[in-house]
Amino acid sequence: MNPAEAIPAPRAPIWWHNLQFWRNPLTFMETLHRDYGDIVAISPKHIFIFSADYNQQALNNAQQFHTVKVPFPTPPNSALARLFTIPGQMNGPENRHQRQIMLTTLHQKYYDRYYQGIVQVITHHLATWRVGQTRDMLPEMNQITLKTPCQAIFDLDPDGEGQQVVKLIEAWGDTLIASNTTLFPFNLKGLPYHHLLRISEQLETEYTRLIQRQRARGLPSEAPLSYLIEQYDEKHLTWAELIGQMNNLFNAGNTSRAAVLAWTLFLISQHPDFLGMVQAELRRNVAGNIPTAAELANLPLLEAAIKETMRLLPPVSWFSRTVMADTQLGDYPIANGTTIICSPFVIQRHPDIYPQPHRFWPERWLTTTPNIYAYLPFGAGPRACVGSNLALFEMKLVLAMILQQYQLTPPAQAVINSTGVMVSMPQAMPLELWPREVPFIKRSVRGNIHESVNLA
Ligand code: HEM
């Protein structure tokens, strides 16, 4: 008997499901869950899981459930392969070793430095904003999240010496998430995959230059890059691993952080009462200044707004595992080689766990602590995101600095659509900048956002 046969399964062929998934993964996954329940096989070797219990079984067992490689070839000895020598692409002891090194790089002891760097980037960026302007918050936030690792982790002015690396990272990230890179992974001039291979070479050259620059500065001990280079010198990292670590630090979660920031500003704009409460919290605790790291830790409503945004609109709406040996999920036998897809988007809308799941209701986080396998914006278990604390720290700082200066609202009749297969994000997020003092009025919007969020 085919091992996955007992699992509820829709009748359509796999190519049809693939098509629906690539067209709109969120609707596709929600419909599967609604029609078939917590575990669904779209083919004997492709299974979606939608409950905290199944998530725990798959995510907690890193030995038997391996992470999936990127969906295009990374030719051996290529710059692209070295840029992908990162913890998320490894399994077993290799993963644990690389995770540990990255966790040390992201350790609290460097936070003073991260704080200074992030504040510098935001201050510089916000200096160009003026009351009355309408700005698309997606590219605005993208610029901030691209530049902060450059300044904060690598101590490199993103508008000066770091300009080239920031430009390359932006181009690399855009090419990576373009669906044509995955659909046509051929090294032919004109195709995005060819472009990806070329940019990867340029990026590695740039990283090599930064390593030489750091050596010339005498490897200052307070810099995380010095720590990475020392790990390489002491043979705890290979060259490919050093390049992979640098690439991960420059790149990880850039688009995700930008998407969360843009969505949070938007969702707050649709909830004037909550906006008033956050503004009051900021006035009470920060009083118009740039918040210190200690003050940031004491902004429960702002933190709740980010958590709630990541619940409703998680940038990583799905991720997957490959089963390494015949096993079970609950009562169902699962064959070796099966792909398991886990969805933060679906589990985070479960009405038994999150009452009124389609509403933006940040206050729920002041009293709720869900099971960690039912709240997965950063994954869970031994492979959970290593950058979650830094990402939250940065996002709170950005929002606190913006919301202390402005009230933001979409222009009349704005269209707000959610898009993206690899990373879910707004197509565009135009928001007007209003002074903080004027009475705030909610402006309704059009667009497919109404399919995912109840904005009534
Ligand atoms: C809002 C921002 C971010 C989001 C939503 C996010 C989300 C995630 C998720 C869902 C996973 C788990 C994937 C899986 O289980 O297959 C993950 C893993 C990972 N994240 Fe993040 N991430 C963010 C920011 C960052 C940052 C800033 C860094 C580093 C500076 C980072 C580094 C990593 C690494 C290294 C892994 C792989 C861990 C492993 O496989 O052992 N992430 N992230």
**Atom number in ligand 1 closest to CA 381:** 15
Cα of 316 from ligand 1 centre, angstroms: 9
pLDDT-based confidence at 28, cuts 50/70/90? Answer: very high
Residues with a CB atom less than 6 Å from ligand 1 = 67, 87-88, 95, 99, 102, 106, 248-249, 252-253, 256-257, 260, 315-316, 319, 377-379, 383, 385-387, 390-391
The residue-averaged pLDDT of 42-62 equals 97
The residue-averaged pLDDT of 243-252 equals 96
For ligand 1, atom 28, name the residue with the nearest CA. 387
Is 321 in contact with 65 (CB distance < 8 Å)? yes
**Atom number in ligand 1 closest to CA 376:** 10
Q: Which of 83, 153, 378, 392 to mutate to test the pocket of ligand 1 (most atoms within 8 A of CB)?
A: 378
pLDDT at 216: 96
Residues 367-388 as b or e (16 or more Cβ within 10 Å = b): eeebebbbbbbbbbbebebbbe
pLDDT-wise least confident of 4-18, 203-217, 238-252, 304-318: 4-18
The string of pLDDT tens digits covering residues 67-113 is 999 989 999 999 999 999 999 999 999 999 999 999 999 998 899 99
Cα of 167 from ligand 1 centre, angstroms: 22
User: d(Cα 298, Cα 319) in Å, to the nearest integer?
Assistant: 32
Closest CA to 226 of 105, 380, 365, 391: 105
The string of pLDDT tens digits covering residues 251-270 is 999 999 999 999 999 999 99
The string of pLDDT tens digits covering residues 129-150 is 999 999 999 999 999 999 999 9
pTM (2 d.p.): 0.96
pLDDT at 183: 85
pLDDT-based confidence at 197, cuts 50/70/90? Answer: very high
Chain position carrying tokens 């002041």: 366
For ligand 1, atom 19, name the residue with the nearest CA. 385
**Atom number in ligand 1 closest to CA 395:** 1
Cα of 6 from ligand 1 centre, angstroms: 33
Cα of 440 from ligand 1 centre, angstroms: 36
The residue-averaged pLDDT of 45-61 equals 97
Per-residue pLDDT at 182 exceeds 90: no
Is 429 in contact with 266 (CB distance < 8 Å)? yes
The phi and psi torsions of 158 (rounded to 5 degrees) equal -65, -20
Per-residue pLDDT at 243 exceeds 60: yes
Arithmetic mean of pLDDT over the chain: 95
For ligand 1, atom 29, name the residue with the nearest CA. 387
pLDDT-wise least confident of 169-183, 269-283, 294-308, 440-454: 169-183
DSSP symbol at 446? B
Q: Which of 84, 108, 255, 385 to mutate to test the pocket of ligand 1 (most atoms within 8 A of CB)?
A: 385
Three-point CA angle 176, 179, 182, nearest 5°? 75
pLDDT at 5: 54
% of the chain surpassing 70 pLDDT:
99
pLDDT at 423: 82
For ligand 1, atom 14, name the residue with the nearest CA. 379
Query: Tokens representing 164?
Result: 């080239």
The string of pLDDT tens digits covering residues 304-361 is 999 999 999 999 999 999 999 999 999 999 999 999 999 999 999 999 999 999 999 9
Closest CA to 102 of 117, 89, 116, 115: 89
Cα of 388 from ligand 1 centre, angstroms: 7
Chain position carrying tokens 């499901």: 17
